Amino acid sequence: MAKQEFELAFNEVLDTKQLPKEIVLEAIESAMVSAYRKTVNASTAQLVEAHLDSETGEVSIHAEKEVVEEVQDDRTEVTLEVARQYHPDAELGQVLVVPSTPAGFGRVAAQTARQVIQQRIREAEREAQYNFFQNMEGEVVSGIVQATNPSFITLGLDRNAEASMPRNQQIRGERFRVHDRVRALLLEVKMEPRGPKIIMSRAHRNFLRRLLEEEVPEIYHGLVEIRSIAREPGYRSKVAVAALQPGIDPVGACVGMRGVRIQTIVRELHDEKIDVIEWNPDQAAYIAKALSPARVTGVFLDETDGGRTATVVVPEDQLSLAIGKDGQNARLAAKLTGWRIDIKSLTEAAAEGLKKLATEEEFAGQREALAENVAQIQGILAKKEEGRPIAPEEYATLGRFVGQIETGAADRRQAEVEEQRARLAELRSRIPAMAFEIPLDELGLPPRLNILITGEGYSTIGDLMMQLETDPDALLSLNGVGPKAMDDIRERLEAFVFPEPEPEPEPEPEVVAADEVAEAVEAVADAVVEEAATEDAPEAEVTPISIEEAFAAALAGVAEEGDLETAPTASVDDAKAKKEKKKKYREIEYDPDKDVTIARKKRKKRGPDDWATTEWDEEV
């Protein structure tokens, strides 16, 4: 009966705590060891092991004891006869692990170790909860509301875990009641002394990302990619998507037929408005799309001064729509694209363009080119101020004028950037290239100064020299760098000797195989014979020479031109090329009257006026 009761209780613990069998056994055995030490007052230095039979519930204790002839302290000593019952080869003086379960230890241990067992099981349960939910971090999970208060709500999750959702992680206007089922993003899991602390969120932008992945199969399977998300929970969200395969409409895939897919997400987010736009590599077109539903006349980008600013020009009737309520539309577009967006109406941009053209010197080059348009633009703006209607053609004229002004300014900014890059390249050319490979530590600066400068991003000697060339005041403005430190830096840079660059190894002479040399000898001989045959002397007077004589003549010519050691390789190639170039061509012709075949060989001959003429020798 006791066996069945223990087995039932043991299985109930496994099922209730959702823990592996090994962890529960380890916790009980550890508690048994603690109970034994407390019962017999054993030393912590003594090795004690506990073994629990999970089927019968019997507990056995094994302790480390010394084998002696006569036992003085049964907690640490055992006789030789008793030791040989468990270890037949035991000898006096050995230290062995032998069974040491006290009489009636099961009942005493159950009372003593009850609290320890509960504590160990709670620790194992917390550790299992932490590992389980840490692997689910960033995923959408479902929980049941257990308690609500103004600061946060408490959710009950699987594995008897509790999570909290702070007020700043909730969607505006949502109200929850006890026992409501809530879906949220598992935002963070932290281990604390009282167990894992789980933070849930419905306001994070990744909650919208996960919902899109669940509702849109094209996103889940990787056919459509979410490039960026900007969200103000409970109000509006903007999502930029791009197709990874041709032929797929990313916006249509996310919206679904008749808006079924996006409406499911909108209902989950408490009627939050969602704008889905198509991502575009052209940043100007991307920004114009991000400001939807407003229509945009022009987008002008400025990436100078280390920032990214986009000036967006919209028609008069689209200005409030582009900005949005409390600037929400413009703010979300800026978050989505990563650009600072400055929105202007068309008439406002034209008025500013006139002012810049008249007052700022950098626009002096455009004054003459746009002089004819200035009067027309002033007249259109005067009509606007008087409240008179403006024709569409006049709005188009304003748009072209603003485009010319902004484009000219962008071209000048780009020219300034190119000039700055050229200046930096020229300054960099004055610094040895090796300086950008030598760590700053080798300069020998004082440790405090070295740590300070290295922490500001100057990792090599070349970086420090470049900064001194461009703007030494930037170093002087660092906290802890004064005139004395600057003088020390300059002195050390002037005294530093850069190592000489290693010379490049000379290329090894090409080795020519024996068969290539023999082929080259034949090519040289043929070339010499061909040259001799084309001289002004008659063909019959050509004196034949041997291959050895031709090769010797070729080597003599090479020796006169340059180094004899390296020249044969070039001569081999030249001779081969010359042999291939000077092939003998023959023309075969049949004469039916004489019933003979005539072969004609082509050769060149100097004419009376030193012009090369071609003759054909006939051979029957």
313 in Cβ contact with 297 (< 8 Å): yes
Q: Model-level pTM greater than 0.75?
A: no
Give the tens place of pLDDT for each residue, 219-238: 999 999 999 999 999 999 99
Look at 345 and 523; give whichever has higher pLDDT.
345
Kindly state the tokens that stand for 135.
């692997």
Among 305, 300, 408, CA closest to 346:
300
Average pLDDT over the chain, rounded to an integer: 79
197 in Cβ contact with 230 (< 8 Å): no
Which pLDDT band holds residue 20 (cuts at 50, 70, 90)?
A: confident
**Calpha distance 35→116 (Å, rounded):** 9
pLDDT of residue 183: 95
Kindly state the tokens that stand for 56.
């019968």
pLDDT of residue 503: 65
Which pLDDT band holds residue 409 (cuts at 50, 70, 90)?
A: confident
Three-state SS across 310-348? EEEEECHHHHHHHHCHHHHHHHHHHHHHCCEEEEEEHHH
CA distances from 131 to 165, 189, 190, 255, 511 (A): 20, 9, 10, 37, 67
DSSP annotation of 562: S
Which pLDDT band holds residue 4 (cuts at 50, 70, 90)?
A: low
Lookup result for tokens 């689910």: 136
DSSP annotation of 237: E
Look at 428 and 4; give whichever has higher pLDDT.
428
Which pLDDT band holds residue 242 (cuts at 50, 70, 90)?
A: very high
Kindly state the tokens that stand for 466.
């470049």
Which pLDDT band holds residue 321 (cuts at 50, 70, 90)?
A: very high
- Which range (29-38, 468-477, 566-575) has the least confidence? 566-575
CATH number of the structural domain 136-203: 2.40.50.140
- Which range (331-335, 532-536, 559-563) has the least confidence? 559-563
Q: Say yes or no: do domains 2-121 and 136-203 share a fold.
A: no
What is the number of alpha carbons within 13 Å of residue 601 lying toward its C-beta? 9
Give the tens place of pLDDT for each residue, 344-397: 999 898 898 888 888 877 777 777 777 777 888 888 888 888 888 888 888 888
pLDDT of residue 83: 87
Q: Which amino acid is at 205?
A: R
Query: To the nearest whole percent, how much of the chain has pLDDT over 70?
Result: 76
Average pLDDT over residues 417-423: 79
Kindly state the tokens that stand for 297.
């006349």
Among 55, 56, 61, CA closest to 112:
61
3-state secondary structure of 184: strand
Which pLDDT band holds residue 194 (cuts at 50, 70, 90)?
A: confident
Which pLDDT band holds residue 481 (cuts at 50, 70, 90)?
A: confident
pLDDT of residue 339: 92
Q: For residue 328, count other CB atoms closer than 10 A to its CB.
A: 14
410 in Cβ contact with 432 (< 8 Å): no
Lookup result for tokens 């100007």: 284
Give start and end residues of each alpha helix (H) in 430-546. 447-455, 461-470, 472-476, 483-495, 514-533
**Calpha distance 323→329 (Å, rounded):** 5
Element (H, E) at 382: helix 371-386
**Calpha distance 71→267 (Å, rounded):** 80
- Which range (179-183, 237-241, 484-488) has the least confidence? 484-488
3-state secondary structure of 515: helix
Which pLDDT band holds residue 537 (cuts at 50, 70, 90)?
A: very low
Of 65-74, 113-122, 500-509, 511-520, give the range with the top mean pLDDT: 65-74
Beta-carbon contacts of 542 under 8 Å, excluding residues fewer than 6 positions away, are 532, 533, 535
Which pLDDT band holds residue 552 (cuts at 50, 70, 90)?
A: low
Look at 90 and 361; give whichever has higher pLDDT.
90
pLDDT of residue 435: 82
CATH number of the structural domain 2-121: 3.30.1480.10
pLDDT of residue 467: 82
**Calpha distance 168→216 (Å, rounded):** 28
Q: Flag whether pLDDT at 328 surpasses 70.
A: yes
Element (H, E) at 146: strand 140-148
- Which range (72-86, 156-170, 419-433, 581-595) has the least confidence? 581-595
**Calpha distance 370→619 (Å, rounded):** 84
Give the tens place of pLDDT for each residue, 116-174: 777 777 888 888 889 999 999 999 999 999 999 989 999 999 888 899 999 999 998 88
Three-state SS across 273-304? EEEEEECCCCHHHHHHHHCCCCCCCEEEEECC
Give the tens place of pLDDT for each residue, 246-290: 999 999 999 999 999 999 999 999 999 999 999 999 999 999 999
3-state secondary structure of 226: strand
Kindly state the tokens that stand for 292.
């939807």
Average pLDDT over residues 296-325: 88
**Calpha distance 580→519 (Å, rounded):** 12
Give domain limits for the chain: 2-121, 136-203, 293-420, 433-495, 514-560+567-581, 586-619
Kindly state the tokens that stand for 445.
């600066």
pLDDT of residue 256: 92
- CATH 3.30.300.20 assigned to 293-420: yes
Give the tens place of pLDDT for each residue, 423-457: 888 878 888 888 888 888 888 888 888 888 888 88
Average pLDDT over residues 29-43: 81
**Calpha distance 318→295 (Å, rounded):** 6
Cis previous bond, 446, omega within 30:
no
Burial call 77-94: b when 16+ CB within 10 Å, e when fewer: ebbeeebeeeeeebeeee
Average pLDDT over residues 185-211: 93
Burial class of residue 196 in the structure, from the number of CB atoms within 10 Å of its CB (0-12 exposed, 13-18 middle, 19+ buried): buried
